[in-house]
Homo-oligomer: A and B are copies of this chain.
Amino acid sequence: LIRELAIVGVGLLGGSVAKAARAGRLARRLVGIGRDAGRLRPALEDGTLSAITTDLVEGVSTADFVLLAAPVLAIEGLLAEVGRAAPAGAVVTDVGSTKRNIVRAAERLFAGRPPAFVGSHPLAGSEQSGYRVARADLFQGATVVVTPTEATELAALKRTSEFWEALGARVTSLDPETHDRTVAAISHLPHLVACALVDGACRVEPAALELAARGFRDTTRIAAGDPDMWTEIFLANRDALSASVAAFREALGDLERVIAAGTTVELHAALARIKTMREGLR
């Protein structure tokens, strides 16, 4: 049980954690922290939060569990102040969708300091954002990746995992580098590719989008994601993303060669192999 849970950023993710924590009685007190009091107020008024503040230091100074639920670059910017203000014994975690930069910065800034840091990435969300779309069941059945390193305190890792599990999530552990390579492959690359598909279709046949059928709409749905968020993610994870793009280009090139050669048997075998991989997805 958490005595005081401080949530920095009460949008879709932070707000959903707050609602789930309230519903599951996970914390005695829930403090929401943000730059704009007007945007925090709805979560106070509906009874989800116990208190709100725009003062980061005040907000985290009495917490025993701190969740940084801001965009990736903002999380990096918060770490120094949170590291100084959060009390000894507190656990600080986050929701950032890239982990190497955040974990590295936290380990540098928190070294020898009281609060413990554990990186987290809940694989949940939507194209929509803001507290108004937050919901208590967002993490039910979702995967949350925690990203400990050799420097991570085991007790803090255990508390963080239990926190996410209490919200209904399945917790998986990956080192920050493997995490970033993995999300590059399954999340950032597909997003980039969806963007290039929309752009490419317009280049080759400007009228094409008029005819766009269901398959194209599904495949490119994520290309309508928030440009602010995706600009940060692509830049924060550009090394791992670049490796993923290279693997993708290679796979695409292999398929192109088989099609150009016109060998039915080989093409069929490749498509059947990929169909089997795809069907293995949960």
Q: Is the CB of B227 within 8 A of A275?
A: yes
Contacts of A212 in B (CB 8 A): 186, 281-282
Q: Does A223 contact B (CB under 8 A)?
A: yes
Q: Is the CB of A186 within 8 A of B172?
A: no
Q: Is the CB of B275 within 8 A of A224?
A: yes
Q: Is the CB of B207 within 8 A of A274?
A: no
Q: Does A228 contact B (CB under 8 A)?
A: yes
CA distance A212 to B145 in the complex (A): 12
Q: Does A166 contact B (CB under 8 A)?
A: no
Residue from B200, B209, B274 in contact with A195 in the complex, judged by beta carbons closer than 8 Å:
B274
Known: A238-B262, A268-B227. A217 touches B178 (CB 8 A): no
Shortest C-beta distance, A99 to chain B (Å), equals: 13
Q: Is the CB of B186 within 8 A of A208?
A: yes
Known: A193-B193, A241-B259. A251 touches B123 (CB 8 A): no
Known: A211-B143, A255-B192, A281-B212. A200 touches B247 (CB 8 A): yes
Contacts of A182 in B (CB 8 A): 205, 207-208, 211
Chain A: interface size category: 35 or more
Known: A186-B208, A197-B190. A235 touches B219 (CB 8 A): no
Of residues 183 through 227 on chain A, the ones whose CB sits less than 8 Å from some CB of chain B are 183-187, 189-205, 207-213, 215-225, 227
Q: Does A27 contact B (CB under 8 A)?
A: no
CA distance A250 to B200 in the complex (A): 7
Q: Does A161 contact B (CB under 8 A)?
A: no
Subset of 18 A-B contacts with CB under 8 Å:
A185-B208, A192-B255, A192-B259, A193-B219, A197-B251, A198-B274, A198-B277, A218-B219, A218-B221, A223-B278, A224-B278, A227-B272, A231-B264, A231-B271, A234-B267, A235-B264, A241-B259, A242-B259
